[in-house]
Structure 1
């Protein structure tokens, strides 16, 4: 994999650049097999950030209040507000 690599405890990340239109292709090898899923995605203007952890059912999104309100209003999504000052949910 090309890109700058950095390691954290129990995680290795690569810094890649591309268009959001290619999001699905970022996680796919040339032979079509799934290899990686982006852990953090944000646009050049840093207006929002999407973060995935190792749990495939969870993603964190940081954005302006209006963007979060739009997500919360979409009935297709299960959006839960997170307060960084509160204890975060744990899945066992």
Structure 2
């Protein structure tokens, strides 16, 4: 089931209904932190290494590769206090960028058209729905981004959220997959390795018939 086929809008965009409701497409490239937290319950039972995970985070995020920028504006001549605050803000940003660059200075992982930073992690880190709000650079260098790939050291399962996908693939044992499919918190479907996951791969829904 693909949003483009449901909405008939390409590229994906929101739909406004006559009763005032507006719905939008799922976020691409990231798994919602609350859903990831719920998944940890199933993932933890399916691995012998819950404290030894590998997380892959796309290096294309602007705040991780130095491509983002921020600015502050003051109307008129800034006071000494305003100048002090601006300088403190600039220094905090510089220190954080340096810490992020240092934390992401480890190994990388490549697949076609993508490069990822590899980091160690644990299921406990992702178990709280608000972990992104409290994660620090020391704990999770990519604060603000969930991993695009996550797998356990014993290779019992893997999660994959391609940067242009609006869904996440969970691969693992039949027991793990059955548990995810039966959990009412997830909108989950079984897929085969031959299934078409592109925008045009939805053979059930035709555009505009949401």
- Structures share a fold, TM > 0.5? yes
Deviation at 1:22, TM superposition (A): 2.1
Partner of 1:71: 180
Deviation sequence 1:25-75 (CA, Å, 0-9, x none):
4330xxxxx2x4312111121111111111463100101011111111111
Partner of 2:163: 54
Which structure's CA Rg is the greater one?
Answer: 2
Partner of 2:51: none
Question: What CA distance in whole angstroms lies between the structure 1 residues aligned with 2:193 and 2:199?
Answer: 17
Q: Does 1:5 align with 2:108?
A: yes
Unaligned runs of 5+ in 2: 1-103, 201-210
Question: What CA distance in whole angstroms lies between the structure 2 residues aligned with 1:38 and 1:72?
Answer: 22
What TM-score do the two structures reach when normalised by structure 1? Answer: 0.74
Unaligned runs of 5+ in 1: 29-33
- CA 1:45–1:61 in structure 2 vs 1: closer, same or farther (change >3 Å)? same
Tell me which of 125, 146, 150 is aligned to 1:37.
Answer: 146
SS in 1 for 2:176: helix
Question: What CA distance in whole angstroms lies between the structure 2 residues aligned with 1:60 and 1:67?
Answer: 13
What TM-score do the two structures reach when normalised by structure 2? Answer: 0.36
Higher helix share: 2
- CA 1:57–1:3 in structure 2 vs 1: closer, same or farther (change >3 Å)? same
Question: What CA distance in whole angstroms lies between the structure 2 residues aligned with 1:43 and 1:66?
Answer: 16
Partner of 2:117: 14
Partner of 2:193: 84
Question: What CA distance in whole angstroms lies between the structure 2 residues aligned with 1:22 and 1:70?
Answer: 21
